[in-house]
Structure 1
Amino acid sequence: MFDKIKSEMVKAMKEQDKFRLSVIRMIKASIDMMRIDKKIEITDEVVIDVLAKELKTREESKLEFSKAGRTDLVENLDKEIAIIKEYLPEPLSEEEVDKIITEALKETEASSIKDMGKVMRLVTPLVKGRCDMKEVSNKIKAKLS
């Protein structure tokens, strides 16, 4: 996945697509920064984590800018979000998330909120980067209480 990002960066340079190039460079820089900070190898999982974090940041900024009436910045963020989403895996539907949670609850035999950690450990690798983890956590809490 990281190789794809690097090749897309070269492609954007050749096409002189400055906006796309700047977004891809930002993604690459974030990935490199995580690699250096945490002293880890770059895997698809690391790339997905970084992309999800960058996407979340942009969506939060978009919300703030729209509240402030800054439509110019909102439009730029929409373009950035679209580019970032190109590299993320296909998002899961509500039904798929519910199915994964239900299966995890059965597998862990979770019965109370105390078992939430077990369920989250099982669910997280399956849904990370493909849906909002806060939403997943809330759904698990609702099913356990």
Structure 2
Amino acid sequence: MSALVAQIKEHQKDAMRAKDKARLGTLRLILSEVKQREVDTRTELSDDDLIVILTKMVKQRRDSVTQYTDANRLDLAEVEQAEIIIIEEFLPQPLSNDEVETLIEEAIAESGAAGMQDMGKVMAVLKPRIQGRADIGAASGKVRAKLNA
């Protein structure tokens, strides 16, 4: 069992003791997703795999918040927002814009990228470094802008 899964299970026990139903429900969702992925892949997940799962869960909830807000369902948007806060507790510290820019420059230099045709090489180097710590879509846009310049 990865250290992050053990940490989530401890938080789950604490939520049970505190009778915090909202937090407990979110932690159970996380553990359920982890268990499902382990069953599907027939392997035990590493902390890196778990960060990918948590990042995806946060992204899904952000999309839901946007849709609920657009539909004027603020009650549902608040529930999703609360889940985002709980899930983000288990993600690594987010990177600042300057740190992302530095990592992009390093990835471009490491991959020897000369233009847009090397975008995949740059992203292959960059993605593991920023996974769960920055928006990969936004970073991809910045890489594209630098390669086009």
| Structure 1 and Structure 2 fold alike (TM over 0.5) | yes
Question: Equivalences for 1:1-80 in 2 at 5 Å?
Answer: 1-80=4-83
- Judge which range, 56-65 or 8-17, deviates more: 8-17
1:105 corresponding residue in structure 2: 108
What is the CA–CA distance in structure 2 between the aligned matches of 1:15 and 1:3, rounded to whole Å? 18
Q: Percent identity?
A: 39
TM-score by structure 1 length?
0.97
Q: Is the 8 A contact 1:31 1:50 kept in 2?
A: yes
Q: CA RMSD in A?
A: 0.9
What residue ranges of structure 2 are gaps of 5+ in the alignment? none
Following TM superposition, the consecutive aligned residue runs of length 4 or more in structure 1 with deviations greater than 3 angstroms are: none
Cα distance, 1:39 vs. partner?
Answer: 2.1
Q: Does 1:143 align with 2:146?
A: yes
TM-score by structure 2 length?
0.94
SS of structure 2 residue aligned to 1:91: coil
The residue type paired with residue 56 of structure 2 is: K
Q: Does 1:132 align with 2:135?
A: yes
Q: What number of residue pairs does the alignment pair up? A: 145
Q: Is the 8 A contact 1:2 1:42 kept in 2?
A: no
What residue ranges of structure 1 are gaps of 5+ in the alignment? none
